[in-house]
Amino acid sequence: MTPKENETDIDNLVKLLDGFAAGEEGRLKVKVTDTLEEGEVEKVHHLGRCDIGSPYATGECFDAPLGDCDR
């Protein structure tokens, strides 16, 4: 990675953080991945502070008899 590429990455991260700080949300989790294209951002919304990835957040049936989950 060249110093210019590194500087661009830092600038992009600062823009992301500035945009977040100007918004209404209370928490941010930044995760670096190779599965998204360069510059692509994926935002995951959740309904509370503890439900990311939980069955409740993903809409999976988890607290009813199996027959009820098929509806």
* 71 residues of the chain, pLDDT tens digit each: 787 778 888 898 898 889 888 988 777 878 888 888 877 878 776 565 565 666 666 767 766 666 666 65
CB–CB of 47/57 below 8 Å?
yes
Cα–Cα distance between 49 and 20 in angstroms, integer? 16
Per-residue confidence (pLDDT) for residue 54, from 0 to 100: 67
Per-residue confidence (pLDDT) for residue 69, from 0 to 100: 63
Per-residue confidence (pLDDT) for residue 55, from 0 to 100: 66
Task: Please report, in angstroms and rounded to a whole number, the separation of the first and last CA atoms in the chain.
Answer: 52
Per-residue confidence (pLDDT) for residue 33, from 0 to 100: 82
Per-residue confidence (pLDDT) for residue 6, from 0 to 100: 83
